[in-house]
Structure 1
Amino acid sequence: PAQAVMLKIFFPFQLVLHFWSDEDCIKILAQCKKAIPSREMGGKVIIIDIVLGSSLETITETELLMDMLMFICTRGRQRDEKEWSTIFTKAGFSNYKIVKKLGHRGVIEVYP
């Protein structure tokens, strides 16, 4: 049990769910939900990941190379806010908010 769960890798890519399929993300988040109390009791999952459309910046060559790496080596993908919302709902969460946008990355709080 925990008050909150944070999903973030510190190095090199600083992303967790980014590299997993939608189905795997739902399973991971469902397990996180089991570990936290209700929203009224302060429970939440904090995710730092890419949220497409959260930045006005143009796509860089590095980001395109990252997409190619993901396509070849993982089952993950980049998601926009609507796609994240669908995953959160399927994992059993009732609400979320994007707290801060860091370029293409966002800090997302997800509530049971």
Structure 2
Amino acid sequence: MCCMILDMKYVLSHWSDEDRVKILTQCKKAIPSRDAGGNVIIKDVVVGSSSSCRLMLEAELLMDMAMMVMTSGRERNEQEWHNIFSSAGFSDYKIVNKLGARCVIVVYP
């Protein structure tokens, strides 16, 4: 079985939705099918994913403001990530682990 994983750490926050879709579309072209072990691992913020912890939500929103001021990007909630993955042609994803304000998202072709 061939296995190829693309790992993206805090890269996509800096880009617009359109650019994220372009980047992820190229990633999808570069990996094998899900059955062959292909996936993309994204470590980034998923706004609102930290349960009911108000302090963590404040941290996520502050990171969102920083992205809007310093780059053309912003932080996304789970539905917004879902829309980006679908637009890039991915069939499924799962949020695997929460790392404070950041999450690990595994995206499947």
The TM-score range, normalised by the shorter chain, is 0.7 to 0.9
CA distance in 1, matches of 2:30, 2:6: 8
Task: Give the partner amino acid of 1:49.
Answer: D
CA distance in 2, matches of 1:67, 1:109: 21
Q: When the two structures are aligned, how many residues end up with a matched partner?
A: 103
1:95 paired residue number: 92
Q: CA-to-partner distance for each residue in 1:6-41, whole Å, 9 max, x for gaps?
A: 001xxxxxx110111000000000010011000000
TM-score, structure 1 normalization? 0.85
Q: CA-to-partner distance for each residue in 1:45-96, whole Å, 9 max, x for gaps?
A: 0000000111133214x962x4443222211001000000000000000000
Q: How does 1:1-112 map to 2 (within 5 A)?
A: 3-8=4-9, 15-55=10-50, 56-57=52-53, 58=55, 59-60=58-59, 64=62, 66-112=63-109
Task: Give the partner amino acid of 1:6.
Answer: D
Q: Aligned to 2:83, what secondary structure does the other structure show?
A: helix
1:12 paired residue number: none
Kept in 1, the 8 Å contact 2:16–2:74? The answer is yes
Kept in 1, the 8 Å contact 2:6–2:27? The answer is yes
TM-score, structure 2 normalization? 0.87
CA distance in 2, matches of 1:81, 1:40: 25
CA RMSD of aligned residues (A): 1.6
Q: Aligned to 1:40, what secondary structure does the other structure show?
A: coil
Tell me which stretches of 4 or more aligned residues in structure 1 moved more than 4 Å.
Answer: none
Ranges in structure 1 where 5+ consecutive residues have no aligned partner: 9-14
Kept in 2, the 8 Å contact 1:54–1:103? The answer is no
Q: Aligned to 2:35, what secondary structure does the other structure show?
A: helix
**Identity within the alignment, %:** 59
Alpha-carbon deviation of 1:104?
A: 1.8
